Structure 1
Amino acid sequence: MRRAFALILLALGVFAVAGAVLLPTYVYPKLTKVPLDQDSTSVLEGTASKVLAVTDKGTGPVAEIRENAKLTATGRVQANFAAPEMHEGTDYAVWLLAVQVVDDADNTVVNASKRQVCFDRHTAEGYDPHGATDPKCDAKSSYVTELKDKADTNGQKPPETNIEKAQPGLNFKFPFGTEQKDYKVYDDNTGTAVTARYTGTETVNGIETYKFVQNIQDTKVATKEVPGSLVGSDQPTVKADLYYRGVNTMWVEPVTGIEVKQQQQQHQELRSGTTSPAVVFDGTLAFNGKTISQMVDQVNANKGRLEFLSSTGPLWLGIGGGVLIVVALVLLIRRRPAEPPAPPRPRRRVPVSAGH
């Protein structure tokens, strides 16, 4: 009976130790993938000391520089299941990001952008083509949308054109198990991957986060035909280069890789070469309280499960399995105690006859 019990304990111990090894090395990598289905909205709010607004009051578009404007930026991320990479079991996802920035005073749209990216569901790395023979993602699955400055017909929305473009670096989130090191993060404005440097830890709404700061140097991002009045010229229209610089700060929960908080400081100016630069945007936007709360809820819903797979689960399974194996071996090796010797049988005495 004891031997059978010991063998059961031994089997359970071996199973637990195997689980301790398999959880972080096999199960965790398989399950740490962002979902294919995605439809989420984040909101950033802030102010701009200067912002370019284009309005049309019936007499054609009019460009003006507004000062001390309160702005709201709304970003919506949606999965595109029409993309060939979007199928069951795939390691890649294709998501579309649309961002619109409005002046709160009159809901005038001061900026809008749209891009789609195919990225790795494990690492959050955007597709970076290393050869056309065996690409990880279809080239058409990653693009940025360019909006013409003017509509073809008055009163109509300017036409959009999708330009195929790989978007290397991290997209939408940081990797699961984010480390205290620098990462390349894709920057929408320059269209490049820019280093986000790790600067320390901070607590956001009770969540311990890693803080990363991305400094984007002064970069020419476009050449536009703009009203001469914007850059101090007497000409009706002039060609001017648009330059951008900024500082993006991201607070990341390391287990899930979720950006709990985000802040964007941006500066844009037009340079015509003949006049002084004209600032067309200078402001700071950050996640509002509701968006931060949504991100914290996502962390709380996923962090415990990921920690069990990567650390706490293997630890307790390893300890428990080891204890069970030791107990089983002790029971198997330990000999049963020898039975005590039987007491000597009493001798029968024969009485002596009285006649002898």
Structure 2
Amino acid sequence: MSMRRPLGLILIALGAFFLTLAPLVRFYVADKVVRAPLNRYQQTRLEAPNASYFDTASFKSRKGVTLVAENTVRGDVRANNGNDDIAVWDSSTEISDKATGKQIEIQGYRIAFDRRTSELVNCCGVHVGGDTSVKMSGYGLLFPLADVHKRDYPFFDMTTRRELPMRFEGEEQVQGIDTYRFVQQVPLTKSAKVDFKVPGGMLGLGKTSKAQKVDRYFTATITEWVDPRTGVPVKHRQNIRSTIQTPDGRGSMTVAAADLVTVDKDQRKLADMADGYALQIALARIWGPIAAVLVGLVLLGIGVAVGVAAGRRTPPAAMKAPRRSDGRFGDVPAGPTPPR
């Protein structure tokens, strides 16, 4: 009896602790867990069969080839100047001819973004191709973490160096994950100046035409299949076309044309990563708080029950008085003795 009351109080205190823990897990712990990692390292391979490009070494166009794009994303933990809210990632892509292994182009850029919202910020030495004067906005490599909706998002295109809408176009299952499909249209844009002249015959101006000054232009259709639970793209498609044109637009030549798609093996790898992040998010935002509430209610209920049981008093058993020699009990007066 004497141990039940303190045991009940202990259980009630534990129940109250777990009930207090639930919102703490949901709004504090979850905020620490649902963030983009600082030290991200990821390699992804894309391939484009039946592509074409201009081989500058032989000065000839190569058609019907398979181009390979090897992309590497690496987080730079020391670049954020100790600001734990900002992640800095470097991305590099090497495009090559699969048959010959000949390197065609190398692309590189650095982004910095808010680890909670995924929105780009301009700090920490961000650049595109070494140009640190570029001002980025919108989103870069990631969609909003664990908060992707069926709407358009502004994404920064690294080739044209401008913000363009990534439009929601439907739902589709990829590697067992129900994804949202987003498409970004990059209009024909002058991407660079060319510091040499190109023979007019190569630009379709006739064999006798003199060499022409040209500029480089770029257009693309970019498609992302995104896991809405995490904001992680599990499949990427980039249908690109790069050309050189004369300033008046009369002459042009295709420099590269390719429809690059993430290979199946890397799609599965990205899907597994998305599933892992989704589990962490669910534990922090849903199952952790629910478990804390249930445990708290159970402990609280048991504690109250134990406390109530301890407070009850069992009535004492009736005490019998000793029998006297005359047959009466206790101190009750005997009264007159009946006549015989």
TM range (shorter): 0.7 to 0.9
Does the aligned pair in 2 maintain the 1:86–1:94 contact within 8 Å?
Answer: no
SS in structure 2 opposite 1:115?
strand
What is the distance in 2 between the residues matched to 1:86 and 1:178? Answer: 27
Answer whether contact 2:33 2:280 (CA < 8 A) is retained: no
Q: Is the 8 A contact 1:227 1:238 kept in 2?
A: yes
Match runs of 1:162-181 below 5 Å: 162-180=131-149, 181=151
Matched, 1:261 2:235: yes
User: Match for residue 331 of structure 2?
Assistant: none
Listed as ranges, the gaps of 5+ residues in structure 1 are 56-61, 129-136, 146-160
Match of 1:58 in 2: none
From 71, 74, 77, the equivalent of 1:78 is 74
SS across alignment from 2:141? coil
Q: Partner of 1:321: helix, strand, or coil? A: helix
Whole-Å Cα distance in 1 between the matches of residues 270 and 232 of structure 2? 7
Shift of 1:341: 6.7
Q: Quote the RMSD (CA, aligned, Å).
A: 2.9
Aligned to 2:34: 32
Which letter does structure 2 place at the counterpart of 1:67?
K
Question: Does the 8 A contact of 1:124 with 1:175 survive in 2?
Answer: yes
Out of 202, 208, 214, the position equivalent to 1:230 is 202
Q: Which residue identity is paired with 1:227?
A: V
The structure having more radius of gyration, on CA atoms, is 2
C-alpha distance in 1 between matches for 2:121 and 2:71: 21
Aligned pairs for 1:134-213 (under 5 A) are: 137-138=123-124, 141-145=125-129, 162-180=131-149, 181-213=151-183
Q: Distance in 2 between matches of 1:80 and 1:340?
A: 75
Q: Secondary structure at the match of 2:16?
A: helix
Q: TM-score, normalised by structure 2?
A: 0.82
SS in 2 for 1:15: helix
Of 337-346 and 100-109, more deviation after overlay is shown by 337-346
Alpha-carbon shift at residue 230 of structure 1 (Å): 3.2
Cα distance in 2 for partners of 1:52, 1:126 equals: 34
The equivalent of 1:18 in structure 2 is: 20
Preserved contact between residue 34 and residue 146 of structure 2 (Cα < 8 Å): no
> Residue 245 of structure 1: CA displacement?
2.3
CA distance in 2, matches of 1:4, 1:199: 62
Contact 1:217–1:246 under 8 Å retained in 2? yes
After TM superposition, give the deviation of residue 121 of structure 1 in Å: 2.5
The corresponding residue for 1:91 is 85
One-letter identity of the residue aligned with 2:135:
A
Q: 2:284 aligns with which of 286, 301, 309?
A: 309
1:238-253, aligned counterparts within 5 Å? Answer: 238-253=212-227
Structure 2 contact 4–310 (Cα < 8 Å) conserved:
no
1:150 corresponds in structure 2 to: none
Shift of 1:43: 0.7
CA positional deviation for 1:331: 4.6
CA distance in 1, matches of 2:282, 2:162: 33
Q: Which residue of 2 aligns with 1:321?
A: 296
Note the 1:210-225 alignment, pairs <5 A: 210-224=180-194, 225=196
Q: SS at 1:111's partner residue?
A: strand
Higher relative contact order (CA 8 A, sep 6+): 2
Output the CA distance in 1 between the equivalents of 2:161 and 2:193.
15
Q: Using a 3 Å threshold, how does the CA distance of structure 1 residues 127 and 33 change in structure 2: closer, same or farther?
A: same
Look up the SS of the partner of 2:59 in the other structure.
Answer: strand
Residue 319 to residue 215, structure 1, CA distance change in 2 (3 Å): farther
Aligned residues: 323
